Structure 1
């Protein structure tokens, strides 16, 4: 089992090796990463959504799984309840390879900036609860089948930074994720307001 002493890059490399050659399932992630599993799952599942075009067929099921991760983190449950069908859903190595390779390339460039620091407050129970609630909210927003550019990307950026900050115990990155959360909320409030005005315009 991987513990907090390992870097985020090393965690991804461990998962990448574990997936060879037959792929893996979510249950494998929990077996390898233990108490860190919720954030690892969120990090991996968000990678495909870092693009302007929403992935409507994929965002809803992925968002629902991440909502379960957020809820379990907020409640302090080490292993969230998920249907066996989802836990044991096989993910082909080709898919895992693409996601892990993309993450490894990014982490090679960012590992100087994402590192353990200001970690004393990160360990506080209230921070864990806050992160869990925010993951739950933004996973719900990502799950919404909105055919609007950036509607997947905006919550995905928060989720990735929040997961990375939590896994690396990087207080600064975690704070940056909270700032992004504010802008992300503003984006969805503006989107809701604009949609309401558009409906009202056509209704009248």
Structure 2
């Protein structure tokens, strides 16, 4: 399976997919149909959009985070993805999801002007598989049960978005930004866990 890059701005591709969403609910299967042959990386990018604003939509991080992990596994192994039916067909409220998706596209459109092919070695060869592994890890971070804490979904979503944009446009700088955002997310989550541990210890004492 070949994961090709695209010369079209990512925000345009995402906008076309979102404009095809209709009805009171939408499923991941609907989104995959709307994307068509654009590729797994574009679907990963779409899955980050609801989290680019520091407001959590209940249930979305589980569905989209799991989808990103499974898609990233497919990208890493260079094969078609397998997604369970309960993830593909879980209905999500369009009224809540679409505004978040559109705000996410606005954020991506601001980044599009900065993305260009550079440092191609970071998107090919052994790095291509490593990038897939980082995507898997970032997807797991997105699924972490910190949804009510500000930026706990946004931080890993930004990491995933940077990685997917870099991989799609062969931009090594954005791939490096994805690595950095992933590291910062780990530091943020570690700080949260340490604070919770200290608070728990203080309560017990």
Matched with 2:128 is: 128
Q: How much does 1:92 deviate?
A: 7.9
Aligned in 2, Cα 1:128/1:83: closer, same or farther, shift over 3 Å?
same
Matched with 1:59 is: 61
Matched with 1:40 is: 42
Q: d(CA) in 2 for partners of 1:16 and 1:85?
A: 21
Matched with 1:149 is: 150
Q: How much does 1:4 deviate?
A: 2.2
Q: d(CA) in 1 for partners of 2:189 and 2:74?
A: 25
Aligned in 2, Cα 1:104/1:191: closer, same or farther, shift over 3 Å?
closer
Q: How much does 1:156 deviate?
A: 1.1
Cα displacement string for residues 52-89 of structure 1 (whole angstroms, at most 9, x for unaligned residues): 33334321222111111122222222x21112454356
The count of residues paired between Structure 1 and Structure 2 equals: 199
Cα displacement string for residues 83-123 of structure 1 (whole angstroms, at most 9, x for unaligned residues): 24543567787778646644553444332201222223312
Please say if residues 117 and 169 of structure 2, whose CA atoms lie closer than 8 Å, have aligned partners that are also in contact. Answer: yes
Q: d(CA) in 2 for partners of 1:54 and 1:13?
A: 21
Q: d(CA) in 2 for partners of 1:182 and 1:131?
A: 14
Please say if residues 49 and 153 of structure 1, whose CA atoms lie closer than 8 Å, have aligned partners that are also in contact. Answer: yes
Q: d(CA) in 1 for partners of 2:76 and 2:198?
A: 35
Matched with 2:119 is: 118
Which ranges in structure 2 are unaligned for 5 or more consecutive residues?
none
Q: Give the alignment partner of residue 12 of structure 1, picking from 10, 14, 24.
A: 14
Matched with 2:192 is: 191
TM-score normalised by L of structure 2:
0.78
Larger RCO (CA within 8 A; separation ≥ 6): 1
Please say if residues 26 and 41 of structure 1, whose CA atoms lie closer than 8 Å, have aligned partners that are also in contact. Answer: no
Matches within 5 A, 1:59-98: 59-77=61-79, 79-87=80-88, 98=99
Stretch of structure 1 that moved more, 101-110 or 168-177: 101-110
Please say if residues 16 and 96 of structure 1, whose CA atoms lie closer than 8 Å, have aligned partners that are also in contact. Answer: no
Q: d(CA) in 1 for partners of 2:172 and 2:203?
A: 47
Q: Find the residue that maps to 1:197 and give its secondary structure.
A: helix
Q: How much does 1:157 deviate?
A: 1.1
Q: Find the residue that maps to 2:121 and give its secondary structure.
A: coil
Please say if residues 63 and 87 of structure 2, whose CA atoms lie closer than 8 Å, have aligned partners that are also in contact. Answer: no
